[in-house]
Structure 1
Amino acid sequence: MNILFSVFLSALDVFLESAPFMLFGFFMAGLLKAFVPSTIVHEQLGKNRTSNVVKAALFGIPLPLCSCGVIPAAAGLRRQGASKGATASFLISTPETGVDSIMITYALLDPIMTILRPLAAFVTAVATGIGINLFDKDTTPAPAPPLKPFGEIRPPAWKRFLNGQRFAFNDVLGDVGGSFMIGIVIAGVITVFLSPDLVTTYLGMGVLPMLVMVVVAAPLYVCATASTPIVAALALKGISPGAALVFLLAGPATNAASIAMVAKLLGKRSAALYLASIITVAILFGLGADALYRSLGLDPLSWLAQTTEHGHGILNIIAGTVLFILLVHTLITKIRSGHDCRGGCCSHQH
């Protein structure tokens, strides 16, 4: 019982630390949904152009879609005429980052990783998209863009705002909430059971621990938000920022379900390029991250301990209470609606 209580306290510590940033991230997700027309995405990503690959990566970075939610969105882009490269770019940048995961990265890790994570996701997405356009060129002509309904009237701003917030705190929270809580529990288990000596001995510096992170992350069905508390717990035990970044990049984008869907959507050659590009760029960025932390005078084996302050005020407690109530509400809603959810991601499409 003492061990279980210790795990609970460790998990609660991570949950309270991240709660205010999670709520703000979902709020921003609602604003994006309300005021960024989806037609812009569909109209800008056709043809085998580098500019379209870059646009797709930029579109994907702030969107709060997890690794399963991005598949139907990407399939929709593909059907609307997006090139293979642009579709792959969107598939990578979207689940690897998002306003919610960026905020929780700042809460649980540090400002440097908060910048490196979306930057690495952007570079990975662009490199993969360009590689696919070069070596698996799309020869299928893009279909004509869908016609907009004549005389369509957009709802007023206040109504779009409310609809956007409902989407964020119902649909998006429902998609990532289960995975996030699993990640919180895993972080608690790591904090209690994993020895720092074991981590620094076998998962210290260099390419080897990064390859281990790839092997561990590849089969996991974990979203960007859920992977962050796991990495935070590992970092406090001594994992380097480079290995942490590799896990954050590889985990959300390389699970078995995503790779299978990429092969079906873009073809086997594109799927191979997709996987190879993610692993290669993630390791290169991991090595660069370790070098950056060393150049800033931070020990790569105790980087998080040097940059993170602990302690929870009234804001954390209030935000944690609100977030917990919202999570329970989404769980009850899912049970009542009978949706089939796996790994925190619903099978319904948005």
Structure 2
Amino acid sequence: MSFADSVAEAFSGILVESWHIFAEAAPYLLLGFGIAGLLHVFVPDDKVMQYLGSSAGKFRSVLNASILGVPLPLCSCGVVPAALSLKKRGATKGATLSFLISTPQTGVDSIAITYALLDPIMTVFRPVATFATAVVAGVTENILDFSNEGPGTVSKRAVPLTVLPMTSTMPDACGCSSCGSHEIEGENVVQKVRSGIKYAYIELLGDIGFWLIVGVVIAGIISYFVPANMVGSYLGGGIGSMLLALVVGIPLYICATASTPLAAVLILKGMSPGAAFVFLLAGPATNAATITMVLKFLGKRTTVVYLASIALCAVISGLVLDQIYSKLGIDALSIAGSASEIMPEEVKNVFAVLLLPLLVYGMYCRKGCVEK
């Protein structure tokens, strides 16, 4: 076989594997994005502020921020400006940190794709661990905050915050119109549903579409090239494999939805569910850009609490998850993706064909938004 034939065969194999992963996830992604759009239009900003503000109390605000952040459909680029806006408008520092952690770690779309590509145990465990991580970080930050700063103030060690509005019809600080919630006051139910559909299947899809495709393609490359015994040898379980997953995940820029296909393929190749979960928790929660923003606007101590809470909770969650599978006598490899088996391949391919042009169109619209 010539070199050109080998390259063509590899390219074809990667495409087949990537399409298979994409088709498995497509029905659940479409459902998840739809729910995300409804949340976007029916949960107004003033209600968010009512429960996250300092008037709710240092500990209650953390709980509220953690709960609201788990399903909230904010794009990854919009998490930082939205969280900093919460701080400026009176949210406690702990609530700000909780929101910053819980929002990107999971959402209705990533929960749906977790169910499709992994299994019910991981689907339930993921938002629970996300909530716990956000609470730990927020409560720790509020306990350590001895500065007695009033609402809306910032540490002298941090750069003063400018107002970063959550509600705007103009592109946000990141250059994307989907980062914050848009004004929808005065709209009737039908108009709100239309706005939700537009947000879900154009703006939100466009915002994470590129990284979702990248995640699927990387998963396809891993599935095609990487032998199962190699992954099992180095990442088969234990604290060492989880620390390695943590080191890779913390600086990596990847959203919760895009990270799921990677984790699913690694589990199928022999990675322990606990080590894969460390990657699922740490990867979307933070990246080099987010760390820089937290350091600049919230200060050094908050940044240390932010990273330490994510690292500690991710490793503990990974160890707990491995124990759950062990105690229940369940092999994660045997049930990964089992939820998607209830749907015929033909139906999944139809959903994939519907989703792909929406992804392309959303990315095209987002690119136009940024260029303007």
Where does the alignment leave 5 or more consecutive residues of structure 2 unmatched?
A: 1-7, 154-164, 166-183
Give the structure 2 partner of residue 5 of structure 1: 12
> In the alignment, which of 97, 100, 112 is matched to residue 91 of structure 1?
100
Q: Separation in 1 of the partners of 2:308 and 2:185?
A: 45
**What is the CA deviation profile of residues 69-93 of structure 1, one whole-angstrom value per residue up to 9, with x for unaligned ones?**
2111111111111111000000010
Cα contact 1:26–1:100 (8 A) shared by 2: yes
Deviations 1:59-117 (A, max 9, x none): 10111224322111111111111111000000010000000000000000000000000
CA shift for structure 1 position 304: 4.2
Offset at 1:204?
Answer: 1.0
Count how many residue pairs are aligned between Structure 1 and Structure 2: 333
Matched, 1:44 2:76: no
1:202 maps to what in 2? Answer: 234
Q: Return the offset for 1:338.
A: 5.5
CA, structure 1 residues 331+306, in 2 after alignment: closer, same or farther (shift >3 Å)? closer
My pick for the range that moved more, 15-24 or 157-166, is 157-166
> Is 1:242 aligned to residue 274 of structure 2?
yes
- Displacement, 1:264? 2.0
Q: CA deviation at 1:315?
A: 2.4
Counting aligned pairs with the same residue, the percent is 46
Correspondence for 1:321: 353
Q: Evaluate the alpha carbon distance shift between residue 255 and residue 303 of structure 1 in structure 2; reply closer, same or farther with a 3 A threshold.
A: farther
* 2:247 corresponds to which of 208, 215, 219: 215
| Other structure's SS at 1:68 match | helix
Which secondary structure state, in structure 1, belongs to the residue aligned with residue 363 of structure 2?
helix
- Secondary structure in structure 1 of the residue aligned to 2:211: helix
Contact kept? 2:39, 2:73, Cα under 8 Å: no
Q: Gaps spanning 5+ residues in structure 1: where?
A: 147-151, 341-347
Cα distance in structure 1, aligned partners of 2:146 and 2:105: 24
Aligned to 2:172: none
Q: Is 1:161 the equivalent of 2:193?
A: yes
Deviation at 1:153, TM superposition (A): 6.0
> TM-score scaled to structure 1, two decimals?
0.90
- How many Å separate the matches in 1 of 2:284 and 2:185? 37
Decide whether aligned partners of structure 1 residues 26 and 309 sit closer, same or farther in structure 2, where only a CA change above 3 A counts. Answer: closer
Task: Name the Cα RMSD after superposition.
Answer: 2.0
* Deviates further, 62-71 or 113-122: 62-71
Question: 1:217: how far off?
Answer: 0.9
Distance 2:369 2:71 in 1: 29
Q: Which residue, out of 96, 106, 119, partners 2:115?
A: 106
Residue 332 in structure 1 maps to residue 348 in structure 2: no
SS of match in other structure, 1:245: helix
Letter aligned with residue 14 of structure 1: I
Task: Tell me the TM-score normalized by structure 2.
Answer: 0.85
2:44 maps to a residue whose letter is: P
Q: Does 1:60 align with 2:91?
A: no
1:170 deviates by: 1.6
